[in-house]
Amino acid sequence: MTLQHPVRRAPRTFGVEEEVILLEPGSLAPVDVADEVIAELEHSDADVHWITHEYLRAQVEFSSPVLADADAADRVVREFRRAVAGAVARRGLLAASSGTAYGAGRSATGAGERYARFAQELGAIHPDHRIQGLHVHVAVWSREEGVAVMRALRPWLAPLLALTANSPCFGGIDTGFASWRTIVGRRFTTASVPPAFADAADYDRRVRALVGLGATLDRSSIFWMMRLAERYPTVELRVFDAQLTADETVGAALLARALVESAAAGDLPHAAAAAHAEHLDAAVWHAARHGLDDVLVDPVTASIAPARHVIERMLDAVRPALDASGDRDRVEALVARLRAEGNGAARQRAALAEGVPALERLLRTSFAPPAAA
């Protein structure tokens, strides 16, 4: 995926990387069939050339082409999901887009020396590294702009996480967290909110110093919630759990683009105290624990406020960017739905309260709904 600079003043281009877990019906445990699924799709008529292997043999990843608008994003995400769902169903299995899988069980590490080294370095953490994320790339004019965008976005990562949390279950239990994936990720060598870098040179110098430490095998092993992409001229937002539905994946990407645009324009406010490292870290933990069901840190005031108030504050800040890209109605409709029905974590938890079969139905139908008659 090579993101190109858009024409100035046009909406920024973006891309999505969506990680998917392949599960056994009934147990909802991971099944190592990714190699088979990818091989089948590579020899099919489906236009899914962007499907690749991931860290585990029970995972596949979709990396989109360069996207300019919501319709293009919606089309490619749904096409990917339909193709994977069909290939997996032919094996009597199901595909799910969730930050963690409900079922217990291990999955073998994917092929390649890099994955083997990473697994060895993780030690006892490795069995818990069954997590799936949504990564959104948004084009920036330069790495200097990218660093400035990252500084402005740091206090807004916790609200973004609360809105899109979708990993309440792990190892056969309800963890009590809205985003257990975030908690697992906090144990990596680099994790959570990145530092406030002075400029691109500062970013590059400090990232170089991390390479070779722990699980940071190379610059692509940086696991902060956002980073500068190494191969593309983008800021990569990695805060999101994998999203239950295509609508949520696309909506998260459009919101990310609006946040980057607003940050680059200097229209994304935050109080100085909201950017303190300890405040940011606590805010992320709290958002991972409670999602939208409690209070959040309001980045504008650095005070505690109801989660829905903070989400509305975020929408207020990005509405000019959403209007400019034509995405306002779509993003506002999605946020209204999440307020009414709950984020992915809340919906998974409600389904699990009815039993594992209900959770399985939710995961299956959310990933790739049957075509309308």
C-alpha 211/C-alpha 217 separation (Å) is 6
Residues of the chain with pLDDT below 50 are 1-8, 372-373
DSSP-derived 3-state class of residue 237: strand
Per-residue model confidence (pLDDT) at position 9? 65
Per-residue model confidence (pLDDT) at position 5? 43
- Strand-strand pairing, 173-174 and 226-228: unpaired
Q: Is 4 exposed, middle or buried (0-12, 13-18, 19+ CB in 10 A)?
A: exposed
For residue range 21-59, list pLDDT tens digits in order: 999 999 999 999 999 999 998 887 766 668 888 888 999
Q: CB neighbours of 353 closer than 8 A, spacing ≥ 6? A: none
Half-sphere exposure of 280 (CA within 13 A, CB side): 22
Per-residue model confidence (pLDDT) at position 17? 96
Per-residue model confidence (pLDDT) at position 6? 41
Per-residue model confidence (pLDDT) at position 48? 63
| Residue among 257, 234, 253, 256 nearest 243 (CA) | 253
For residue range 180-191, list pLDDT tens digits in order: 999 999 998 999
C-alpha 196/C-alpha 338 separation (Å) is 31
pTM for this prediction: 0.94
> How is residue 219 written in tokens?
């610059």
